[in-house]
Amino acid sequence: MKRFLLLLIALLSFLPLWATRIYKGNSVYTSDVLYTWDGRRLYRGNSTYSSDILCVWDAKHVYQGSTTYVSNILCTWDGKYVYRGNSTYTSDIMVTWDGKRFYRGKSTYTSDILATYDGRHLYRGNSTYTSDILYTLDGPLPPAIMVMLL
């Protein structure tokens, strides 16, 4: 049991190394880290301190701050749509996700593309030009959290 606890503590000490970093533009410099994602929480900058938590994710809702109270729900995710607040009404769809692009509202028209994601970069609009990179990600990030960055 003692050996198991030591192993667990050792593994937990490396968790911040496994976090996804979100960098400004096409940069991967530590000084350009805007956000850090640990799989559940989005932090400000290159931090994993509880005082720097911007939002919490539970695989369905994004909560403002570090608490998961219903009153703190910013948006709801159903796998395709991001809804305003704790709603799943069509009238509350903020963003549509098709696996590569984010569209304004319930639209899938090219003119309504907010951002494009290629697995590493989040681009402005329908572009994949280097000059249009909003963020560079060094790991996975749920689409609902990406919407919070737009």
Whether the pLDDT of residue 13 is over 60: the answer is no
Position 93 in a domain: yes
Q: Let me know if residue 85 belongs to a domain.
A: yes
Which residues span the domain enclosing 134? 19-149
Tell me what pLDDT residue 1 has: 58
The domain spanning residue 134 has which CATH number? 2.40.160
| Average pLDDT, integer, range 17-41 | 93
Residues in the chain: 150
Q: Let me know if residue 83 belongs to a domain.
A: yes
Query: Distances from the Cα of 148 to the Cαs of 1, 3, 116, in angstroms?
Result: 42, 41, 14
* Count of structural domains, the chain: 1
Nearest Cα neighbor of 34 from 49, 50, 15, 47 is: 47
Q: Which residue has the higher pLDDT, 10 or 1?
A: 1
Q: What is the pTM of this model?
A: 0.86
Output the pLDDT for position 114: 98
Q: Residue 10's pLDDT is what?
A: 47
Q: What angle do CA 110, 100, 132 make, to 5 degrees?
A: 70
